[in-house]
Amino acid sequence: MILCSNPSEQFKSYQSEIEQAVTRVLRSNNYILGEQVRFLEKEFAEYIGTASAIGVANGTDAIEIALRALDIGFGDEVISVSHTAVATIAAIEAVGAKAVLVDIDETFYTLNPNCLEEALSKRTKAVIAVHLYGNPADLDPILSFCNKENLFLIEDASQAHGAKYNGKKLGSVGDIGCFSCYPTKNLGAIGDAGLVTSNNVELANKIRMIREYGWKDRVSIFRGRNSRLDELQAAVLRIKLKYLDNDNQKRRNIAKIYNDELSSLPLVLPKTRSNDESVFHLFVIQVANQQNLLSFLKQKDIMAGVHYPLPVHLHPAYIGRVLSSKNLSVTEDIVKKIISLPIYPELTIQDIKLITNAMHKFFK
């Protein structure tokens, strides 16, 4: 069976190093916010190109804590997209703010900057730009809009560790960058983990305090919460961070093979802007007969997927709870066409050939 993603294969790639690192932590008698977390924070900040990085429990917490650090809460509005993981919107709700959802660009699946103006209100405090599938959102016009309207820009880079926009690593452009390190991510832990980046040292210090009850010398200065990154996950992430660029290049190589092998078929292949560098967290195609193709591939033991089959504003839990622009037609239409083909660094040439051959057979 060929899985859509396969984190256990990446563990096997670095098994010896990971097991040694985990054993050192187990023997250290220091399991929460110790030296492994501090080293990871320093190394990840250097990798992204920011002044600071802060380890937290998961990617949802990363966004929630970012919003709290910016004093965004009840009565405030945050603009984002509906074509994203529910986590993005759940984090906005967790601070008591209202999510205002706009449509996406039909080519790159990210926030359409032309839709921002219609979503703006006196209550708007921030924009969360989601870098989806490993592709950067179009940050220049989004940042220009935020500067003009005095809004904060948060980058949800949970699917884009190492991707670049105009030569800059994602997570270094906005006020705050938020990363999930869920096991299937490009930089994945062996469990839940997250990271927050910022070039604003004062803001980073506040984030660091909020993740642990708002403490300074064990006195709560801010209203905080418990979102500590544990040493085991930090140790694993430090190993994988060393190989992230190499693993991302493997993803790009697989994407090139897909593009070459599937270009003659009646489907839409993913595109990347000329100045951007995608890390292909997912390889997402568009087809007219989505469900038939998914069923056909499943019969061949190829576990393709759909990310995401239902826009957040149409989830039962969010109907009436989020605000949305009048027109989300691209978002609502795209989910009927997209399919995520298997992609991860350890995917073999043999498996890629099986997938592309199956695609050709389907379209015969």
Question: Would you state the pLDDT for residue 98?
Answer: 96
Q: 52-66, 303-317, 323-337: lowest mean pLDDT where?
A: 323-337
Q: Could you tell me if residue 180 is inside a domain? A: yes
315 three-class SS: coil
Same domain, 248 and 236: no
| Tokens read off for 299 | 């019969």
Length of the chain as a residue count = 364
Looking at 212, 242, 272, the residue that finishes a domain is 242
Alpha-carbon gap, residue 2 to 24, rounded angstroms: 34
Q: What is the pLDDT of residues 146-180, one digit of tens each?
A: 999 999 999 999 999 999 999 999 999 999 999 99
Chain center to CA of 316 = 23
pLDDT higher than threshold 80 for residue 227:
yes
Residues 193 and 274 in one domain: no
Tell me how far the alpha carbon of residue 275 is from its chain's centroid: 20
Domain match, 277 and 218 both: no
CATH of the domain at 77: 3.40.640.10
d(CA 43, CA 229): 15
Residue 187: inside a domain, yes or no?
yes
Place 114 in a pLDDT band, splitting at 50, 70 and 90.
Answer: very high
Going by their DSSP bridges, the two strands 164-165 and 276-277 should be labelled as antiparallel
**Strand positions, DSSP E, the chain:** 52-56, 77-81, 98-102, 124-130, 152-156, 164-165, 168-169, 176-180, 194-198, 215-216, 219-220, 276-277, 283-286, 323-324, 338-341
Return the pLDDT at 55.
98
219, pLDDT greater than 80? yes
Number of domains in the chain: 2
Query: What was the pLDDT predicted at 323?
Result: 79
The reply to whether 54 and 98 lie within a common domain is yes
pLDDT greater than 80 at residue 144:
yes
Mark whether 156 and 62 lie in a shared domain: yes
pLDDT at position 291, please? 98
Instruction: Answer whether residue 325 shows pLDDT above 80.
Output: no
Looking at the fold, whether 326 and 268 belong to one and the same domain comes out as: yes
Which pLDDT does position 76 carry in this prediction?
Answer: 98
C-alpha to C-alpha distance for 308 and 117, rounded to whole angstroms? 25
Share of the chain above pLDDT 90, in %: 97
Residue 326 pLDDT > 80, yes or no?
no
Give the pLDDT score at 321: 83
Q: What is the mean pLDDT of residues 267-296?
A: 97
Q: Is residue 256 predicted with pLDDT exceeding 90?
A: yes
By the 8 A CB rule, do 47 and 238 touch? no
Average pLDDT over residues 349-355: 98
Classify residue 323 as exposed, middle or buried by CB count within 10 Å of its CB (0-12, 13-18, 19+): middle
Q: Does 136 share its domain with 221?
A: yes
CATH no. for residue 298?
3.90.1150.10
The per-residue pLDDT of the chain, averaged, comes to: 97
Instruction: State whether 116 and 68 are in the same domain.
Output: yes
Binning pLDDT at 50, 70 and 90, where does residue 182 land? very high
Among 180-189, 190-199, 323-332, where is mean pLDDT lowest? 323-332
Answer whether residue 222 shows pLDDT above 90.
yes
Record the pTM: 0.97
Non-local (6+) Cβ contacts of 131 within 8 A are 110, 137, 155, 156, 157, 158, 159, 160, 163, 170
Residues 190, 182: Cα–Cα separation, whole Å: 8
**Residue 2 placed within a domain:** no
Residues 273 and 140 occupy one common structural domain: no
The answer as to whether 227 is a domain residue is: yes
Q: Is residue 1 part of a domain?
A: no
Does residue 51 form part of some domain?
A: yes
**C-beta of residue 181 within 8 angstroms of C-beta of residue 209:** no
How do residues 23-69 score in pLDDT, each as one tens digit? 999 999 999 999 999 999 999 999 999 999 999 999 999 999 999 99
